[in-house]
Each structure stands twice: as structure tokens, then as C-alpha cells.
Amino acid sequence: MMDILQYEFMQRAFIAALLVSVACGIVGTYVVIKRIVSLSGAISHAAFGGIGLGYFLGLNPILAAIPFSIVSAIGIGAIHEKVNISEDTAIGILWSVGMAIGIIFINLTPGYAPDLFSYLFGSILTVSNSDILIMIILDILIIGIVYLFQREFLSIAFDEEYSKVLGIPSQLIYILLLSLVALSVVVLIKVVGVILVIALLAIPAAITKQYTSDLKRLMFMSTVVGMVFTSLGLLLSYIFNLSSGATIVLVLAAGFLISYYIK
């Protein structure tokens, strides 16, 4: 293990694995409780439009994906409340349109997009210092927002209709929750890619939800589980020369099956 950590790229990779686990543990808890896993997948695929825009404008694709994914989250939150259309239909539209926009922008960009594959399937070994800084800032932002609105998030996660009766602006809080999902997606893209983001958001919380119903404990345990399994997946991908994102997801899935069997 110490031999692996002598390489700077592996040091950055393990730091990134720990940072993404924070976002997964906190936001993933709400995603699993609220049952918006598929909605999170739609936001992650819509974020690919921001990545394409970043290539087109010559910007850091991760930075470009932040406003794009947040706008997508706000849009689907508005559709959820205002438009007479089922949520699964809105998810399908957002899912496909976001990917299509990203592809069009990449087609319009002169030259070749060298890192495109890493944004689709993740490449934690290529995480840079600037990527880690972005992850730290987004993690702090996520923690701060959840701390300030923890009671409101709790109310809409378990009973959105009752929260309206209590006078809580449930629509705004719901959109804010989706925006947190969007920020988490941006944190995760570099690690597992757009395609596999759902696994990191859902599986750690799904594992720990079997053992506790206390929300704060669930967040903490999900964060720890995420750290353990992402680090283990990263280690195995290095040893066996496998795709890091896919290996992390398979390790998480194996952990879920084992925990389900034990429970």
C-alpha cells in the first residue's frame, strides 16, 4: 500500500475517493430516502451537455458542468410542480437532451477531445490538483447547505405534502435538493464518469439504510462506507490494471450484495 502512495497521481486519486464519498454519503442519503435515483441519473447525463460546452468554449469541462447541471436540476424541479407531465417522462427527456447537447458541442469543437472517455466512464487516476480543489469547495458547499436546511430537507424527504401543510416552501426546498444532487454529480464525474454516477450516489446509502433509520447516522455511515469501498475499488483497479470507475462500482455492488445477505 505504501509503495502505491509514493506516486503523486495515486495520492490525488485516494484524496478524490475520500472527497467524493462525502458528497455521496450526504446527498445520496436524501436520494435514496426520497427515491429520486433515476432523477439523479437524468441530472448526471444532462451534465454531459455542460462538459461539451466546456470543450466548445475552451474552459475546464468540470467548471462548465456546474451551472449546466444546476439549471437542469431547476428545470426538472419546475416540471415536477408546474407542468402536466409525468416525472419519468421528464427524466427521459432531460436524460437524452443533455447527452445530445453535449455531443453537438463536441462536434462543433475543432480538433479532438482527448479526455472525453474519462468524463463518460471516469478516470480517477488523472485527477489534477485543480479538480481536487473544486471537489473540496463543492463538498463544503454541500455540507453548509445541508446543515442550514436539514429540517426542511428532512420534511420533504419523508412527506412532501405534510411539509406544505406546515408552511414549508417545499417546491423551493425540492429544487434546492436537486441542485445539491447536481453539485454531487459534478464531484463524481471525474471519478466514475457520467454513466456510473448513479451507483456512487445510491449504493452507499442503500447499504447503510439496512442498519439504521437515524438520518444523521445514516449520512455518517454512508460516507464511511463510500470511503472504504471507493478506496478498495481504486486499489484493486491499480493492482489488476482495470478501469477505476467500473471497478469501484463493482466493489460497491459486491458490498451491497454481501451486506444484504448478512442482514
> Packing angle between helix 129-148 and helix 150-158, nearest 10 degrees?
80
Domains of the chain in sequence order: 4-256 (1.10.3470.10)
Q: Is 254's pLDDT higher than 80? A: yes
Rounded to the nearest integer, the mean pLDDT of the chain is: 88
Rounded distance between C-alpha atoms, residue 1 and residue 135, angstroms = 24
- Using one digit for the tens of pLDDT, what is the confidence trace for 114-147? 777 888 888 888 888 988 998 999 999 999 999 9
Looking at residue 220, what is its pLDDT?
95
Q: Give me 192's grid cell.
A: 466514475
How many residues does the structure list for the chain?
263
- Reported as half-sphere exposure (CB side, CA atoms, 13 A), residue 59 has a value of 14
Q: Is 1's pLDDT higher than 60? A: no
Q: Is 120:194 a contact under the CB 8 Å cutoff?
A: yes
Rounded distance between C-alpha atoms, residue 225 and residue 219, angstroms = 10
Residue 3 or 150, more confident? 150
Indicate whether this model's pTM tops 0.85: yes
Rounded distance between C-alpha atoms, residue 65 and residue 222, angstroms = 25
- Using one digit for the tens of pLDDT, what is the confidence trace for 44-96? 888 999 999 999 998 888 888 999 889 888 887 777 666 666 667 777 888 88
Rounded distance between C-alpha atoms, residue 173 and residue 175, angstroms = 5
